[in-house]
Every structure is written in structure tokens, then in C-alpha cells.
Amino acid sequence: MNGNLFRHEGQEWTTLKRLAADHHNRLEEEAPRLLGIGTEPEFATGQRALLRQSDGGNLLWDCITFLDGQTGAELNVRGGIRVIAISHPHYYTTMVDWAERFDAQIFLHTADREWVMRKSPRIRFWEGTTLSLWDGLTLINCGGHFEAARWLHWPAGANGKGALLTGDIIQVVQDRRYVSFMRSYPNLIPLGPAAIQRILERIEPFSFEQIYGACLNRFYQQTD
């Protein structure tokens, strides 16, 4: 698997065994019933996963590579994982390992099927623009730097005002009052106007107050 994608020297191959020697996962409450899971020191794109907890079953949004016994035990205390939903192929990583560890299904859009490098009966492909889940959760095919990049709409988030979980399809920047739409983050190449317009059209029907992006403690909140 690839290491940090933003190294000047380029990508570097590593193994889960090597990661276990000097990496650990950090779990942090991002909001009520929303747990952030990130690896330290930073690995790959520095992304985090988000565990949206619910009495109807927990959903893991996006995926990180490293999964150890301590992380598994911590998530089991919170009810495990019912479904893994991933924003785009950059975050497929060890999704099958996570699914097998927690006896979970993986929901991916069929338009990004070609990027699945490890087949598994746990993977369920869906089609179309939206997929309704439990508790009002909705997966939205919005496009971006992949044809079928997705978001998760969480209507009960932000104290009932609605929240989006977006990975880096919509990237919450350091200022946290703004977001970016990029074709390539390492090279700082933005998406074109047509792709951005498509994203805005797909988001328009869904109410939200906050966006939870790709990194720990990175969220956007609308202001007047």
C-alpha cells in the first residue's frame, strides 16, 4: 500500500505490519454520536474515518488503512459497524479488512467499480443519484474528482439542522468558513465550472448546517 501521497520524494510502499510498529489510531468525538478516527503519525492523505452512531446500526464513513485490536475493541463498545460507505476510491484502502472485522457491508457506487482492487461479497454496488439508508441517512452521488464521488447527508446532525459528510470531495479548508473543490490536491488543480455546478445542483435539495470534511477537527459551519 502507498504511504504519504504528499511527500516530495513521491509515494512509498509499506505494509500493515510496518505501520503497526510506529503508528496508532486516534479517536476523537467530533459531535454527539459522531466519532472521528485518524492515524498518527499522518499516513496517506491524512484522511479520517467517521463513525456515525445510531440505535439502528453504526455507519462508518470513509476508511483509513490502519486497524488494530485496540481500535476494534473501542468501536465494538460503541456498537460496531453495520455499513461502510466511502466517498471515493482514494479511500477504499483496507475496507474489506474493516468489513470482515465487524461483519459489515460496504456500499460503493457502480460507476467506480473499476477501482475496486480486492473483490468481496461484502461489497454492494448501487446506482443512480441517491441511496436512502436508515434514520433518514442518504448517500448522494455528486461527482467531483471521481465520476461517482459521494456524500452522506445526515439530517439529524448539527442539532437537527442537518450535516454533510464529504471526505475531500468538498474540502473544508483551514479557515473553516470556506470550502474548496479540487481535481488534484497534491498539484492544487481545481475542478472546472461544470463539475462544480453539478455538485451544487446535487446538494441543493438537502438542508445542512455543517460539513464534516476529510481531516480530524475539520468542519464547516454556515454563518450569517
Count other C-beta atoms under 10 Å from residue 114's C-beta.
Answer: 9
CA-based nearest residue to 49, from 2, 9, 5, 83: 83
pLDDT at 182: 84
Q: Which helix (H) or strand (E) holds 168?
A: none
pLDDT at 221: 44
Q: Grid coordinates in use for 170?
A: 468538498
Mean pLDDT over all residues of the chain? Answer: 88
pLDDT at 9: 67
Query: Can you tell me the distance from the alpha carbon of 212 to that of 4, in angstroms, rounded to the nearest whole number?
Result: 22
Average pLDDT over residues 111-123: 95
Residue with cell 454527539: 32
pLDDT-derived band at 131 (thresholds 50, 70, 90) equals: very high
* pLDDT at 212 > cutoff 70: yes
pTM: 0.88
pLDDT tens for residues 17-67? 888 899 999 999 999 999 999 998 887 777 899 999 999 999 999 999 999
- DSSP track, 28-43: EEEETTEEEEEEES--
pLDDT at 217: 52
* pLDDT at 149 > cutoff 80: yes
pLDDT at 219: 43
Structural domains in the chain plus CATH codes: 16-221 (3.60.15.10)
pLDDT at 72: 97
pLDDT at 74: 97
pLDDT at 180: 84
Q: Are 222 and 210 in contact (CB under 8 A)?
A: yes
CA-based nearest residue to 57, from 33, 90, 73, 41: 33
pLDDT-derived band at 87 (thresholds 50, 70, 90) equals: very high
